[in-house]
Structure 1
Amino acid sequence: MACRLKTIQNKSTSPKVGGPGHGRQPFTRDEVPTNEDIEAAIAVLRYSADEDSVREKMKTAFPHCQAMVNDADKSADVFPRALDIPGLIEQDFRLLFGEATANKFLEKWPTTFKGKVMDSHGLTPTTELLELMRNAESAVENENGWDSDMAAILLLLHLLPSAVQGRKKPGQMSACQGVDQLIRFQKVVTSVQQHLDSITQSGQPYLLALGSTKSSIHSYFVVIDKHARQWPQ
């Protein structure tokens, strides 16, 4: 039956509705800003040092910023404020998905999703997978492993179709390799700036976990193009 359903899906010619490639419209506001309002907001964003003012103007310019998010030349004068004003990334997420969606994941992760992820029976029992499952299920911190919450999040990489099926295409990274692309650990004896200076080339964004051990993380940073922003802000 599973094979038949997969065959039908591959042969289907119906248009796709949803998924990461689906266009998403931001939530509408009660008052739609005019072109003059947007131009005035962008002018403030370039020079204002007042954080509250920048946050408010980013809300005004949000539809315009979303329309040109893939145009680096046009957005260069606006988006750098996300590097020096805390909370702008979260604000954009809430404007794009709405308050209910923005709050849903963190509210339900400990009680709903985490338990389902930890129930990962039937997967290929690799050494890395078994270690993550032990750490996720244990209430006692393992000095050499991630804490329970992070271990459960990393288990998601092992639930990807290629990992579940036990095979990967040529050039496709394994779940274990994916962990290094998602998060990197650094002891507190090394500064974040030293880590950024050691980056030889820009790549995909990732999390930098700073702490004494993997199970005792003091802070997280989102690293994008050799810039680091502490998260949560």
Structure 2
Amino acid sequence: MTHTNERDTIFQKMQETFHFWQGLIHNPETSASVLSMFPRLLDTKGLVLQDFSLLFGAETAARLLEKWPSYKPKLIKEAAALVQTPLLQRLLQSARGEQVESSAAYHPGWDSDMSTLLLLLHILSPQPAGRKRGHKISARDVIDHLVVFHKSCQSLDEHLDSDERQQPYLLASGTTKRAISAFYIAMDKKLIPCQGNTSLAAFDELFKVHFVFSLNYDESLRSMYTFIQTTIYNIDVGSTKESPKLKELRAKLLHDV
């Protein structure tokens, strides 16, 4: 694989070695070196998607993109019932596809799908950071744990060098948040290019990275990721710990006519 640029060959060889490198991932002595041992993950789009499908099957792998159109308006409706803040109001406008004043303070600027995903963070309320009693991370702060905008004219390497995040997140590179030219999954100070060119498709890959590389969720995003995992993908339903708020939200969405 190291000496070929033929996409079909790379995909075939990664599939053939799937169980081998999954073994490396689950071995504490080798898990940190997987991206170095399999560098094609860093320059070949779609390998994460293939590996997730090998883990769970094509039907499960397709669920977010298939189900999102039915969940999206319900999530917008739920967010509209929350106590309104300037940030929440602008996210709601963006999620609905309404015009937002570009000069507005804290204008998030993301497209409709990403704005709706950020609304989900508000609905489920980010969890306290670490074990510091009484300290709660705000929805505005936790957004950077999920997605970071990067001006396409700036250096990606400089961003990675200065980045201290421990868990994977989306790096969206473009001229504005509504004009993204490429999405990457930033992990271990390396970039995995996303095959998807929309915010929803990129988030789909970000979610799947956690299972492909056997990673824990960022604590501040745990409720959001767990909702996506159990409610939309139907993965490990019943055996995954869920907050009462998450269970209530799922019940409302599934019974909302």
Q: Residues 119 and 191 of structure 1: is their aligned pair in 2 closer, same or farther, counting only changes over 3 Å?
A: same
**Who is 1:88 aligned against?**
47
Relative to the length of structure 1, the TM-score reads 0.67
Given the alignment of the two structures, is residue 61 of structure 1 paired with residue 17 of structure 2, yes or no? yes
Contact 2:152 2:174 in 1 (8 A): yes
Given the alignment of the two structures, is residue 191 of structure 1 paired with residue 191 of structure 2, yes or no? no
**Who is 1:232 aligned against?**
195
| Offset, 1:108 | 2.8
Given the alignment of the two structures, is residue 213 of structure 1 paired with residue 171 of structure 2, yes or no? no
Contact 2:90 2:100 in 1 (8 A): no
Given the alignment of the two structures, is residue 176 of structure 1 paired with residue 140 of structure 2, yes or no? yes
CA distance in 1, matches of 2:70, 2:46: 26
Q: Match for 1:116 among 71, 74, 80?
A: 74
**Who is 1:223 aligned against?**
186
Q: Residues 151 and 161 of structure 1: is their aligned pair in 2 closer, same or farther, counting only changes over 3 Å?
A: closer
| Higher RCO (C-alpha under 8 Å, 6+ residues apart) | 2
Contact 1:139 1:148 in 2 (8 A): no
Residues 139-164 of structure 1: CA deviation (Å, up to 9, x unaligned): 4466442121211111111121558x
CA distance in 1, matches of 2:13, 2:98: 44
Contact 1:142 1:215 in 2 (8 A): no
| Offset, 1:194 | 3.1
Residues 26-46 of structure 1: CA deviation (Å, up to 9, x unaligned): xxxxxxxxxxxxxxxxxxx5x
| Offset, 1:86 | 2.5
> In terms of Rg, which structure is larger?
1
CA distance in 1, matches of 2:57, 2:133: 37
Q: Secondary structure at the match of 1:73?
A: coil
**Who is 1:126 aligned against?**
85
**Who is 2:119 aligned against?**
155
| Offset, 1:65 | 2.9
What is the total number of aligned residue pairs between the two structures?
A: 182
CA distance in 1, matches of 2:81, 2:41: 42
- Identical pairs, percent: 38
Q: Secondary structure at the match of 1:119?
A: helix
> What residue identity is the alignment partner of 1:216?
A
CA distance in 2, matches of 1:206, 1:194: 16
Q: What are the ranges of 5 or more consecutive residues in structure 1 without an aligned counterpart? A: 1-44
Contact 1:210 1:220 in 2 (8 A): yes
| Offset, 1:171 | 4.0
CA distance in 2, matches of 1:62, 1:216: 35
> What residue identity is the alignment partner of 1:128?
L
**Who is 1:136 aligned against?**
95
| Offset, 1:216 | 2.2
Contact 1:203 1:225 in 2 (8 A): yes
Contact 2:185 2:193 in 1 (8 A): yes
Q: What are the ranges of 5 or more consecutive residues in structure 2 without an aligned counterpart? A: 197-257
CA distance in 2, matches of 1:128, 1:99: 37
Q: What pairs with 1:37-48 in structure 2 (closer than 5 Å)?
A: 45=1, 47-48=2-3
CA distance in 2, matches of 1:125, 1:157: 14
Contact 1:48 1:54 in 2 (8 A): no
Given the alignment of the two structures, is residue 203 of structure 1 paired with residue 166 of structure 2, yes or no? yes
> What residue identity is the alignment partner of 2:138?
S
| Offset, 1:132 | 0.7
